[in-house]
Amino acid sequence: MDPIVASSPPPMEGSAAPHLQEPETFPPSSSMLDDPGLLGTVIVLLLLLLAGAWYVLGGSKSGNTVILAGPSGSGKTSLFHRLRDGSTHNDFVTSMEVNDDTFALSSEKGQAAKPMQVVDIPGNPRLRHKLEKHASGGARGVVFLVDSADFMPHIRSTAEYLFEVLSNPGIAKARTPVLLGCNKSDLGAKAHTMDFIRKKLEKEVELLRGTRGALQGGGNMVDVPLANPSEPFTFANCRNKISIATVSALKDDVGPVETFMRSCIPAK
């Protein structure tokens, strides 16, 4: 069989050969590429525009944020003031707004240390969602504060909140380090030890993992497992690095919190 060859139809008899237009050639126009001064100005303007957009969208803040979370009354706002001003007050007014400020730690006065953004999320369950904005914005660390004295009556809700924080997509995917701060250590025998608090929370989170595991991947959870599913949950085997320390915002014993924050956001 003859191969089919595609060909253009022959010109009709008597008709003039098709007029092939020569492509027009233009003299090269004088573009801004030829003008290094103009090109430089445009690049500078573009960079300024990008920097402006980055600033407006909060880019300047991302990368130096530490979140203070934990149940109501655990001492987050006291800690916030202690870290920023080196002082606190002992009257309890539950926070209805986020405290958000960028500062170098009060204990670093005169050291020209890099400022960090500290965000105190109210413990009121209706306001906890405000954590989301900062968690998804790339927070570098989370200080999860508990009241070491008034701990047992709230163990379940505290574990639920911790579980939510660890399951937050931003915190889970970035493996944001978490410090469990056992606050109010100044209360002596009334305050539970950090080992006691750790073990209780590990057990409660393990229970929640069983009941909520099936929900992971939906809502505001991630499908990244909290820890190896074949082992019981412990802080040591958690996907996020969790450290634990006793602190007292009231008595100015917040060194472990400051060290943790600086490990997340180096001073220089």
Ligand X SMILES: Nc1nc2c(ncn2[C@@H]2O[C@H](COP(=O)(O)OP(=O)(O)OP(=O)(O)O)[C@@H](O)[C@H]2O)c(=O)[nH]1
Interaction site with ligand X (CB under 6 A): 72-78, 90, 92, 94-95, 122-124, 183-184, 186-187, 248-250
Whole-number minimum distance, CB 154 to ligand X, in Å?
Answer: 12
Q: Which of 67, 70, 71, 77 binds Mg ion (CB under 5 A)?
A: 77
Task: Name the one range near Mg ion by CB under 5 A: 31-39, 69-77, 230-238, 243-251.
Answer: 69-77
Task: Name the one range near Mg ion by CB under 5 A: 92-100, 146-154, 186-194, 207-215.
Answer: 92-100
Kindly give, in sequence order, each residue whose CB lies less than 8 Å from that of residue 113, ignoring residues fewer than 6 positions away.
Answer: 104, 105, 262, 267, 268
Task: Name the one range near Mg ion by CB under 5 A: 38-46, 90-98, 159-167, 203-211.
Answer: 90-98
Whole-number minimum distance, CB 120 to ligand X, in Å?
Answer: 6
Whole-number minimum distance, CB 144 to ligand X, in Å?
Answer: 11
Q: Which of 62, 95, 136, 234 binds Mg ion (CB under 5 A)?
A: 95
Q: Is 127 in the site for Mg ion (CB under 5 A)?
A: no
Q: 158 contacts which partner out of ligand X, Mg ion, none, CB within 5 to 8 A by kind?
A: none
Comparison of 77 and 248: residue with beta carbon closer to Mg ion: 77
> Which residues lie near Mg ion (CB under 5 A)?
77, 95
